[in-house]
Chain A
């Protein structure tokens, strides 16, 4: 896997407020990397720093294994926080500015406008666009010059459900072209639907990183009970597919288990040891509970 972005110890302070606090991250080629965190957790600040519009107070980052940062930015398409365009210019003229900066030879501006479904309005000035259209133009602008990596910061912010679906679909299609995408979001559902990897941050600190699958699904929780709870607990703890066993009250156990295995596995396991289960309920944890749990928990987790 080729490294796309490497961040080490990145920090930013605003007065006494620490917006980003010694952040470490690494994104590899082909990942759709979600940066998930509540409002004000430092997502935009982090992305702003790696795009050289915010000066870090400490730490380093490098793009594509350490090439010149300005050249690196020409290979990255960025939508940070808001779509930023010249309001008096139309979609085509605005994309031409982007292409000129990126020194793109013969950019396929019509194709890009087609892709984001703005072809009809390409001759209208940007300030007449609806929010959804502005957001889509920003995605088209990010795609100018066929970049290797894309940064989308809250790309569905302020859109209606239809707009959200369209933008997500667009991002998924871009990801399918094999592009590396870094997406910041405070919406779990979005990260769950779009991303392959995720970093969860809170108050500028990294709380967890890993593949979305690992973070979301590793902790299927199953509740069990049996006559002989102690014996059950003993065999469960001994099994290597089970990561944790906890007592709930005096008569139930809660177990965390790799998501490839389910209730049938537990049932079979107990049966092999001649224990009859009196209670067996699967409680799939949603990313939401996981997210809340992680953000409440201070120590970083590695999945």
Chain B
């Protein structure tokens, strides 16, 4: 395990896009978070300042990270695998003495490490901003929503596993990124809408699609107050985030599926 992680580190530490992506992630996470003050159309009754104090800050910083993990860590996962094919280093690594399982396994471990690192950073930021912004620190309020920490990690890892699978399947950076974005932003919402209106009308099944489940791990509408205010606006489509335990359950299932498919795809293809 450690041996495989070290190998990925040897490959990545000199890779400039990796450094740029990680740096952007670090810079943008607090900026995105702060921008919620101005950039979102919150219901008037909603107390925006409550986003920035304990315990809500766990969720809202996490939601800022949701976007960043989706974009930056997703792209990183695509680069992680596609360039091994464009440089033909995947075949060289195998010929040099790795098994295909080790090859994919090393990538998975590396992605997990990146997710953990992102989560640590998220935790540090929350603590820093939280203690700075909250006037009366009550420890119970600080720790109340700490369950967002593992959920943040699962979310980041989930996006990476999905992006990785697409990269492994398509093997072209541009196309893979295009598909990743198209599926997540257009295709899956369309499928969900279709499911909601036609296939299983008004049922919750439309919420169980993979990217939605991963997104709902840390979502605006995990905040019950906000959800209550928003749904009174009467939007056509389900505005509910999955309950936490359902999001965790389904995300875990989908992540396991993505990982399984990655190993499977690697095992049967020529390099």
- A residues sitting closer than 8 Å to B (CB atoms) are 48, 51-55, 70-71, 73-74, 76, 78, 80, 82, 84-89, 93, 96-98, 100-103, 141
Complex A-B: 21 CB contacts under 8 Å: A48-B91, A48-B270, A53-B91, A55-B270, A70-B97, A70-B99, A71-B97, A73-B96, A78-B95, A80-B91, A82-B88, A84-B92, A88-B14, A88-B16, A89-B11, A97-B7, A100-B6, A101-B97, A101-B98, A102-B96, A103-B3
For residue B85, give the distance in angstroms from its CB to the closest CB of chain A.
Answer: 11
Residues of A within 8 A of B93 (CB): 101
Chain B, 3-26, CB within 8 A of any chain A CB: 3, 6-7, 10-11, 14-16
Answer whether residue B44 sits at the interface, using C-beta atoms and an 8 A cutoff. Answer: no
Residues of A within 8 A of B203 (CB): none
Q: Contacts A84-B87, A86-B11, A86-B87; is A53 near B97 (CB within 8 Å)? A: no
- A53, B270: Cβ atoms under 8 Å? yes
Give the CA-CA distance A84 to B271 in the complex, in Å.
13
Chain B, 125-177, CB within 8 A of any chain A CB: none
Answer whether residue B94 sits at the interface, using C-beta atoms and an 8 A cutoff. Answer: yes
> A126: nearest residue on chain B (CB-CB)?
B87
- B95, A85: Cβ atoms under 8 Å? no
- B residues sitting closer than 8 Å to A (CB atoms) are 3, 6-7, 10-11, 14-16, 87-89, 91-99, 268-271
Residues of B within 8 A of A87 (CB): 87
Give the CA-CA distance A84 to B6 in the complex, in Å.
20
Closest 9 A/B residue pairs (Cβ): A74-B97, A84-B92, A84-B88, A53-B271, A78-B95, A73-B97, A51-B95, A53-B91, A101-B96
Residues of B within 8 A of A101 (CB): 7, 93, 96-98
Q: Contacts A93-B10, A101-B98; is A55 near B268 (CB within 8 Å)? A: yes
For residue B100, give the distance in angstroms from its CB to the closest CB of chain A.
Answer: 8
Residues of A within 8 A of B16 (CB): 88
- A98, B96: Cβ atoms under 8 Å? yes
> A71: nearest residue on chain B (CB-CB)?
B97
The main secondary structure of chain B at its interface with chain A is helix
> B12: nearest residue on chain A (CB-CB)?
A86
Give the CA-CA distance A73 to B94 in the complex, in Å.
8
Give the CA-CA distance A53 to B95 in the complex, in Å.
7
Residues of B within 8 A of A85 (CB): 87, 89, 92
Residues of A within 8 A of B99 (CB): 70
> A104: nearest residue on chain B (CB-CB)?
B97
Q: Which of B10, B89, B268 contacts A84 (CB 8 A)?
A: B89
Residues of A within 8 A of B268 (CB): 55
Give the CA-CA distance A247 to B3 in the complex, in Å.
69
> B267: nearest residue on chain A (CB-CB)?
A55
> A77: nearest residue on chain B (CB-CB)?
B96
- B14, A70: Cβ atoms under 8 Å? no
Residues of A within 8 A of B11 (CB): 86, 89, 97
- B6, A73: Cβ atoms under 8 Å? no
Residues of B within 8 A of A86 (CB): 11, 14-15, 87, 89
- A73, B95: Cβ atoms under 8 Å? yes
Give the CA-CA distance A84 to B94 in the complex, in Å.
12
Give the CA-CA distance A87 to B16 in the complex, in Å.
12
Residues of B within 8 A of A141 (CB): 96
Residues of B within 8 A of A96 (CB): 10
Give the CA-CA distance A97 to B99 in the complex, in Å.
15
- A93, B14: Cβ atoms under 8 Å? yes
- B271, A78: Cβ atoms under 8 Å? no
Residues of B within 8 A of A93 (CB): 10, 14
Residues of B within 8 A of A102 (CB): 96-97
> A144: nearest residue on chain B (CB-CB)?
B96
Give the CA-CA distance A101 to B103 in the complex, in Å.
10
Residues of A within 8 A of B89 (CB): 84-86
Give the CA-CA distance A96 to B269 in the complex, in Å.
27
Residues of A within 8 A of B15 (CB): 86, 88
- B97, A51: Cβ atoms under 8 Å? no
Give the CA-CA distance A82 to B88 in the complex, in Å.
9
Q: Which of B7, B87, B94 contacts A53 (CB 8 A)?
A: B94
Residues of B within 8 A of A100 (CB): 3, 6-7, 10
Residues of A within 8 A of B95 (CB): 51-53, 73, 76, 78, 80
> B94: nearest residue on chain A (CB-CB)?
A53
A53-B271, A80-B92, A101-B97 known; 14 new pairs, CB 8 Å cut-off, are A48-B270, A53-B91, A53-B94, A53-B95, A53-B270, A70-B97, A73-B97, A85-B87, A86-B89, A87-B87, A88-B15, A93-B14, A97-B10, A102-B96
- B87, A54: Cβ atoms under 8 Å? no
Q: Which of B88, B92, B94 contacts A52 (CB 8 A)?
A: B94
Residues of A within 8 A of B269 (CB): 55
